[in-house]
């Protein structure tokens, strides 16, 4: 499993700290190839991370922008990405275990300790396996593929 990470200019410092911590824990972390600057735009980072995450179903993404909302919206435009903006451990667990998220978004002002706790919960949580959750995730996938016909 690889973990792809990207941030706009607001999240650069938090991203660096997260990368260092996760590498120390033995994770394979891949930073975006895009360069940050004061005029960068969060959709570019969301699209790059998303495109990489969908190449392998076991890979995950972490995205950071001012508050995590914009970058999560952009990431969800990448076919196959289910990105959730998360604010807590419970959000991280449910995003992955209930909603099949393969990417999370956090705000740049989140304290490092909180971010790492949330990220570790996300990484360590098993994928959705309960039938009720899988049914809902599959509806989303079908809609995305243009094959949903239950309306």
Which of 83, 98, 103, 133 does the annotation list as catalytic?
98
| pLDDT at residue 43 in the model | 98
Q: Where are the domains of the chain?
A: 2-145
Of 9, 65, 83, 103, the active-site residue reads 65
Question: How many Cβ atoms sit within 10 Å of the Cβ of residue 71?
Answer: 33
Average pLDDT of the residues of the chain:
97
Average pLDDT over residues 106-130: 98
For the cut 90, the answer to whether the pLDDT of residue 16 exceeds it is yes
What string of DSSP letters covers 10-63?
Answer: GGHHHHHHHHHHHHHTT-EEEE-SSPP-TT--HHHHHHHHHHHHTTSTT-EEEE
Q: Does residue 65 have an active-site annotation? A: yes
Cβ neighbours for 29, distance < 8 A, ≥ 6 positions apart: 2, 3, 4, 5, 19, 22, 23
> pLDDT digits over 76-105, tens only?
999 999 999 999 999 999 999 999 999 999
98 is known as an active-site residue: yes
**Architecture of domain 2-145 in this structure:** 3-Layer(aba) Sandwich (3.40)
pTM tops 0.85, yes or no: yes
Residue 143: closest CA among 95, 79, 50, 60: 79
């Amino acid at each position: 499993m690889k973990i792809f990470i990207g941030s706009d200019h607001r999240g650069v410092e938090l991203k660096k700290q997260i990368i260092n911590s996760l590498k120390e824990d033995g994770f394979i972390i891949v930073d975006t190839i895009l360069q940050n600057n004061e005029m960068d735009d969060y959709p570019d980072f969301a699209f790059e991370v998303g495109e990489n995450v969908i190449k392998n179903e076991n890979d995950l993404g972490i995205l950071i922008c001012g508050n995590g909302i914009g970058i999560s919206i952009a990431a969800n435009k990448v076919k196959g990405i289910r990105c959730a903006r998360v604010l807590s451990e419970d959000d991280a667990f449910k995003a992955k275990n209930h909603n099949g998220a393969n990417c999370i978004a956090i705000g740049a002002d989140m304290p490092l300790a909180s971010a790492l706790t949330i990220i570790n919960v996300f990484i360590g949580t098993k994928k959705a396996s309960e039938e009720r959750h899988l049914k809902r995730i599959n509806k989303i996938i079908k809609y995305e593929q243009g094959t949903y016909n239950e309306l």
